Amino acid sequence: MSVNFLKNNNQLREKIHERAKYIKNQLKLYNIPVIPNQSHIIPIFIGDANKAKQASDKLMNEYQIYLQPINFPTVNKGEEILRISPTPNHSDQMVLELAMALNQVFEELEI
């Protein structure tokens, strides 16, 4: 149902991709390692299952931001990521807070 809705709503699809581009640009300012792709899903390279889980937990507990950790077998061992799934409703302020929080967590966990 939602896939069909998006297929027929180009404006919404464009807004999702615009948000993803904005997020990627903000993360680049903090040298957060975004894995390049054409999707609106934004993979953040971590490379360690324990640190991916710690980062996800820290973001949730300290910043109320949920980024799903993706581990083996979905990705190969050593290729663990955090996944950002933006929506058109994520504001510029929310994106800035996300970028700052990720930067802080990366520093604290030495990622």
Condensed to tens digits (0 to 9), the pLDDT of residues 14-65 reads 899 999 999 999 999 999 999 999 999 999 999 999 999 999 999 999 999 9
3-state secondary structure of 81: strand
Structure tokens at 74: 């979905």
Condensed to tens digits (0 to 9), the pLDDT of residues 1-27 reads 555 665 666 787 889 999 999 999 999
Q: Which CATH class is domain 2-109?
A: alpha beta
Backbone angles phi, psi at 57, to 5 degrees: -65, -45
